[in-house]
Structure 1
Amino acid sequence: MGNRTLEPFLSAALSAYEMCTPEKPPSCFAVLVGELVEGKALIHGVEFGRNARATEPAATEEYRSTIVPLFGPAYDNQHRGFWCDSTDLLRIQRKADAQGLDILGSVHLHPDWHRIGPPAERGLTISEAPTPMDAYMIGSTSWPVNMICYVERPNQDVHYTLAAWGPAAEAGAPAVRPIPIQFLINAEATPPPSEQAIRSIFADMVHAWSRADAEAFARGFAEDADFTSVRSNHFKGSHEIAAAHSRLFTSVYAGTRLTATVQQVSNPRPDIAIAQVKFGVVDVDGRPARGLGGNPGNTMHAQAVLESRHGHWQIISFMNMVPLHQ
């Protein structure tokens, strides 16, 4: 695969890692899309889907009846584990089919939970190697490529290590087998697909929010962008957007963190994209923070219009909305 293929996933994984709490392990998962050529898996890109671990009946039943009895009560935590939403998986498969590609596997995050998790859960050393639960899932899906991205912070810097695993090659063999990863050096000049680049913009916004860096938060907006807040305030251009968020980071949203789930990206024209994004704001303990306008859940839905300018995607219109039930 190209050495930029996993960039959207790595950005999302870092955001999830920085936002986790002892009660809420970080979760980051993406589907690998590509093709099999002469026995080799060529990964062309990653696609994201929603986590239906706690909402899809088949998932909750699998965890209740099989996974928790096999692998322990830690998996009772609905924030632990990932189950790709079935409608999202179908969407990814159809998109891959239209491109002459296929779903080849997945990549997911392993944090250094033996360092940052609660004391009761530090007994199992986590790495880029599969856990017993991973081995079970690899065997269940039978996808040929299953990557694990181990993220750790042994000091002030964050490091990651990648490894790939496949299901057993034959009966009686170990449950999983290692697969070598090769990167195409000359692939760096090839830009990532538009959807991956767009998702990276929102992942960067999450990362900037965690640092209370208003300038970095506004970097994905065009200089002439229109931003409408949940209170119908209008800000024109990236400079006004940065100034507005700088005030928020030192007042109502001080010390909070942002979550962002890109639910859909469509392209009415090759140079225009519309993104539907679900946002949330949580406090340092991972609990929903009370935000503007008496919105206790602090869940927002945004519609963003993006334009590709000189090969770079930028948000040109952004409207934030609060769901009616809140």
Structure 2
Amino acid sequence: MQVAAETRVLAVLDRLTKAWDRGDAEAYGREFCADASYVTFVGTVYRGRDDLVAGHAALFGKFLKDTRMFSELVELHVHGERTAVVVTRGEVGKKRPARLAKVQTLTLVLEDDGEWRVASFQNTKHHRLMEAVQFWMLPASVPRG
């Protein structure tokens, strides 16, 4: 059961990437729950699918026009039969950057229609210098995993 769930969750991530790469806000939004919460790396909060579709339609038409999504899976955990948490490193741009400088956390749920969708999304800019200072000043804060 868990392997099947992981495969279906990874398919959602693949569809998100393909929709982004096409600049297709509607297809991008279909991968989210109707009441999804979406937090961008600048702190913008979109509430619900309609809100994030409208916001991304505007972004794909201007600031994010012709960009592609680049990401790498960090971890995927399925909890029970209906919830999964995914952490990725990623970036968007016209070409793949040397370093994927953002970290995303996605919580997916298996909805009553049998489809996995993103219930919440959080995108955070990774600040390597600040992290290095923290680890230097407080070595006990270095992740063990």
Q: Structure 1 length as normaliser, TM-score?
A: 0.37
- Structure 2 contact 89–103 (Cα < 8 Å) conserved: yes
User: For 1:298 and 1:244, how far apart are their aligned partners in 2?
Assistant: 23
Residue 320 of structure 1, CA deviation: 0.7
User: For 1:210 and 1:238, how far apart are their aligned partners in 2?
Assistant: 19
1:43-192, aligned counterparts within 5 Å? none
Q: Does 1:240 align with 2:51?
A: yes
Residue 244 of structure 1, CA deviation: 1.1
Q: Does 1:209 align with 2:16?
A: no
User: For 1:213 and 1:226, how far apart are their aligned partners in 2?
Assistant: 19
Correspondence for 1:254: 65
Rate the CA distance shift 1:266–1:324 in 2: closer, same or farther, 3 A: same
Correspondence for 2:10: 199
Q: Does 1:321 align with 2:124?
A: yes
Report the residue type matching 1:231 in the other structure: V
Rate the CA distance shift 1:225–1:260 in 2: closer, same or farther, 3 A: same
Report the residue type matching 2:128 in the other structure: H
Deviations 1:34-63 (A, max 9, x none): xxxxxxxxxxxxxxxxxxxxxxxxxxxxxx
What percentage of residue pairs aligned between the two structures are identical? 24
Correspondence for 1:225: 36
Residue 297 of structure 1, CA deviation: 5.9
Gaps of 5+ in 1: 1-98, 100-191, 289-295
Q: Which has the higher strand share?
A: 2
- Structure 1 contact 225–317 (Cα < 8 Å) conserved: yes
- Structure 1 contact 199–262 (Cα < 8 Å) conserved: no
| SS of residue paired to 2:118 | strand
Q: Does 1:281 align with 2:83?
A: no
| CA root-mean-square deviation | 2.1
User: For 2:65 and 2:87, how far apart are their aligned partners in 1?
Assistant: 26
Residue 195 of structure 1, CA deviation: 0.6
User: For 2:73 and 2:33, how far apart are their aligned partners in 1?
Assistant: 19
| SS of residue paired to 2:128 | coil
- Structure 1 contact 280–300 (Cα < 8 Å) conserved: yes
Correspondence for 2:104: 302
Report the residue type matching 1:313 in the other structure: W
Residue 307 of structure 1, CA deviation: 0.9
Correspondence for 2:135: none
Aligned length: 127
Deviations 1:67-109 (A, max 9, x none): xxxxxxxxxxxxxxxxxxxxxxxxxxxxxxxx9xxxxxxxxxx
User: For 2:100 and 2:58, how far apart are their aligned partners in 1?
Assistant: 18
Runs of 4+ in 1 over 4 A off after TM superposition: none
- Structure 2 contact 73–89 (Cα < 8 Å) conserved: yes
- Structure 1 contact 281–299 (Cα < 8 Å) conserved: no
Correspondence for 1:158: none
Gaps of 5+ in 2: 130-145
- Structure 1 contact 224–316 (Cα < 8 Å) conserved: yes
